[in-house]
Amino acid sequence: MIKSNSGIRKTDVINRRMFIIGAAKVVVFVGIVARLFSLQINENKKYLTLSDKNRIREWKLPPTRGNIVDYFGNVIAGNLKVYQLHIIPEQVENFNYLLVRLKNLLNLSDKRIARINKLKAELKPWDSIIVSENLSWSQFVKINNYLYDLVGVKPVMTISRNYPFNDVYTHVLGYVSQPNEQEILENEIIQERFVPGMKIGKLGLEKRLENHLIGTNAIQRYEVNAYGKRINQLEHQKGEQGSKIRLTVDTEIQKACGKLLNEKAGSISVMDIYTGDIIAMYSSPSYNPNLFLFGISQDEWQLIRNNPLKPLINKTLSGLYSPGSTIKPIVALSALENKVIDTKFKVKCTGKMELYGQTFHCWKEKGHGWVSLKNAMKQSCDTYFYEVARLLGVDRLNITAEKFGLGKKVLGDYFDTEKKGLFPNTKWKKNNLGKGWVLGETLITGIGQGYIQTTPLQLCMMTAQIANGGFAVKPKIIVDNNPISYEDAKQSMESGLLFDTNSEELLDKKLFKNQKNIKIIQEAMFASTNERFGTSYKSRIDDPKYQFAGKTGTAQVKRISKRERELDLELEQIPYKDRDHALYVAYGPYVNPRYALSIIVEHGGSGSKAAAPIAKKLFKLIIDRHDLRDKQSNFERITV
């Protein structure tokens, strides 16, 4: 009985305690269901995303760069299909045998083979190795013929930058090549879109407009396993090609510039005097940017680098030259504006001028006799300009010169290699050289020698601003989304309503005090080209359609010694390095002018012999293409 009693009591205890446990079980199970609910229902989206992130991997393909076209829509930087050869190590049966076969078929160097072996060791077995970036068509065909024997090899067609006009635009466009680490880190867009094999702009507009040209990556989505191996392709998202950029340049004229400067070092710039459109901007010699696309060979690079004519320098923007006599229109204008001289003012040229015991020579040893402004400009009489400069003073000259754009960058921040040049004044010398200005320096500044340094594009803009009647232009090389037609620009200049009615801005646009003075300079430049004894008379065109006005310049690169002056050597007898630079600035047509240009031939001798004849050939082409250009003006507007 006791035992059974005890047994019953024990059963009660067990049952009671089981009940407590049972309740606890229910609570715990409910807790687990709640957890399941929170993960699978509440946070389902989050975990779905994470699961997709796990299993879906994106492969970015190199973006396609935007095209760059000239004013007429001709592609000057485009894209070309290229054939490449990839190896997928995973699929290769016998890697060494394959390499031997490829070596024979493609003439691969031992270095290249070593590089492939190194890549193979570094990459995952399913990542492809690029054996050759740019196969020729015949190589590509050859590979395809032997494909049955080349297991694991994949001929690939892809897209690469291409410059159809080779060296014509190198200094404008620059080129593209593989980015280095720093370039990737510096630019967020490149960083984001970078994939191996992608090329970025290294120089020129290709570099400057990188963010517009770059385009977006095409994306391939693959399902991958936990080890990163592709299981299957899910989708392919097309990339967007980079923006198309339209330039103001004219390929025909640009090409002609290249031909005219063939085998010479120099530069030609052509500009629309109203809109500031740069029609051509050629620096000679140039080089082929296509060489850089797949890595330039050491030999080719040395050839470019060591060329004494310095093809790597963009002479139009970075070449600094004494303007020589091409500065004379500004000197004369400044003197007129400051009422130091008038048209009747005359100076007697005896071939030289003495000042404080120093002798300043005119280029014409016998002298020009009594000369007025027009004659002095026409014959480029140095003595006249010594005297004018002396009367004017360098500081007043400096103000006029800077107004016309000397000593300042022309294209602003578009080209980081562009130089500012220098137009000196007394303050500059004091601050930079720590010495006082000497009057003799004013005289040589008056004929464009001494401290003064200009870029060819500055001279072109200076000429343009004289040609358009003395109004500021804003040079540009890219057609923006608000292109101002030449008629509008001209009209607004002439009616004094350029761009804006804001009078202060208007004041900035007007570079003269009295427009008559501009007219006088224009006439003098006309005489210099179109009247007998003018320095560029031989290069004139009589047909009024093509008739142009200009000013020659001959810039000394070294001081001429007395002995050399007496010898009066022929150009060929002087060593190349010591020969004068030949310059010429001009605008045309003389009636209703449209275009200004500047020409520099390094060590070409005198401006009238080496530079002005080039202008004669060029003007015919420029003006013949004028109507075409006008029709084209509403061609297409592209936002940059």
Partner 1 sequence: MFQHDRLSNEITLFQKIKNLDYILLISVILLSVLSVFVMYSTDGGEILFHTKNHFVKLAVFFPLMIFVAFFNIKFWHNFSYIIYLIVILLLIYVSFFGIKSSGSQRWMDLYLFVLQPSELMKIAIIMCLAKYFHRIKIENVNSFTSITIVLSIIIIPIIFVISQPDLGTSILIALSGLIILWLGGMKIKYFIYSFITFLISLPFIISFLKPYQKLRILTFLDPDRDPLGAGYQIIQSKIAIGSGGLNGKGFLKGTQSYLDFLPEKHTDFIFTLFSEEFGFIGSVGLLILYSIIIFRIVRIGAISRSNFARLFCFGYAFAIFIYIVVNLSMVLGLLPIVGSPLPIMSYGGSSMLATMIGFGIVLSAKINHKQMIA
Smallest Cα–Cα separation from 79: which of 215, 247, 252? 215
CA 629-631-637 angle, 5° bins: 85
Smallest Cα–Cα separation from 349: which of 364, 368, 336, 335? 368
47 vs 97, beta carbon nearer partner 1: 47
Please identify, among the stretches 20-28, 259-267, 502-510, 607-615, the one whose residues bind partner 1 according to the rule CB under 8 A: 20-28
Amino acid identity for residue 478 in this structure? I
- In whole angstroms, the minimum distance from the beta carbon of 221 to partner 1 comes to 14
Cis peptide before 89 (omega within 30 of 0): no
Q: Tell which one of 91, 180, 211, 225 touches partner 1 (CB under 8 A).
A: 225
Are 384 and 399 in contact by the 8 Å Cβ rule? The answer is no
Smallest Cα–Cα separation from 384: which of 340, 437, 423? 340
Q: Hey, which residues between 53 and 112 contact partner 1 (CB under 8 A)?
A: 54-55
Q: Tell which one of 1, 93, 138, 226 touches partner 1 (CB under 8 A).
A: 226
Amino acid identity for residue 347 in this structure? V
- In whole angstroms, the minimum distance from the beta carbon of 28 to partner 1 comes to 6
Q: How far is it, in rounded angstroms, from Cα 330 to Cα 571? A: 29
Q: Tell which one of 10, 236, 305, 427 touches partner 1 (CB under 8 A).
A: 10
Q: Hey, which residues between 511 and 570 contact partner 1 (CB under 8 A)?
A: none
In this structure, what token pair is assigned to residue 53?
A: 């992130």
Quickly tell me which residue has 């359609």 as its tokens: 545
Interface with partner 1, residue 230, by CB under 8 A: no
- In whole angstroms, the minimum distance from the beta carbon of 55 to partner 1 comes to 5
33 vs 141, beta carbon nearer partner 1: 33
Are 240 and 212 in contact by the 8 Å Cβ rule? The answer is no
Smallest Cα–Cα separation from 403: which of 316, 311, 314, 512? 512
13 vs 195, beta carbon nearer partner 1: 13
- In whole angstroms, the minimum distance from the beta carbon of 8 to partner 1 comes to 10
Strands 200-201 and 245-246: unpaired
Q: Hey, which residues between 31 and 60 contact partner 1 (CB under 8 A)?
A: 32-33, 35-37, 39-41, 43-44, 46-48, 50-51, 54-55
x-or-dash string of contact with partner 1, 195-224, rule CB under 8 A: ----------------------------xx
Interface with partner 1, residue 227, by CB under 8 A: yes
- In whole angstroms, the minimum distance from the beta carbon of 128 to partner 1 comes to 22
Strands 200-201 and 176-177: antiparallel
Q: How far is it, in rounded angstroms, from Cα 450 to Cα 392? A: 17
Are 283 and 257 in contact by the 8 Å Cβ rule? The answer is no
Interface with partner 1, residue 233, by CB under 8 A: no
Interface with partner 1, residue 13, by CB under 8 A: yes
Radius of gyration (C-alpha) of the chain in whole angstroms? 36
- In whole angstroms, the minimum distance from the beta carbon of 482 to partner 1 comes to 52
Interface with partner 1, residue 141, by CB under 8 A: no
Are 544 and 590 in contact by the 8 Å Cβ rule? The answer is yes
Q: Tell which one of 25, 339, 427, 617 touches partner 1 (CB under 8 A).
A: 25
SS3 397: helix
* H-assigned helices in 88-169: 95-106, 110-122, 137-145
Smallest Cα–Cα separation from 375: which of 365, 364, 361? 364
22 vs 295, beta carbon nearer partner 1: 22
- In whole angstroms, the minimum distance from the beta carbon of 412 to partner 1 comes to 49
Interface with partner 1, residue 17, by CB under 8 A: yes
Interface with partner 1, residue 27, by CB under 8 A: no
Q: What is the DSSP letter of 238?
A: P
45 vs 532, beta carbon nearer partner 1: 45
* Largest separation between any pair of C-alpha atoms in the chain: 157
Residues 6+ apart with CB under 8 A from 383: 347, 348, 349, 350, 351, 352, 353, 360, 362, 367, 368, 371
- In whole angstroms, the minimum distance from the beta carbon of 33 to partner 1 comes to 6
Please identify, among the stretches 1-9, 108-116, 268-276, 518-526, the one whose residues bind partner 1 according to the rule CB under 8 A: 1-9
16 vs 366, beta carbon nearer partner 1: 16
- In whole angstroms, the minimum distance from the beta carbon of 192 to partner 1 comes to 24
43 vs 188, beta carbon nearer partner 1: 43
Q: Which residues bind partner 1 (CB under 8 A)?
A: 6-7, 9-11, 13-15, 17-18, 21-22, 25, 28-29, 32-33, 35-37, 39-41, 43-44, 46-48, 50-51, 54-55, 223-227, 231
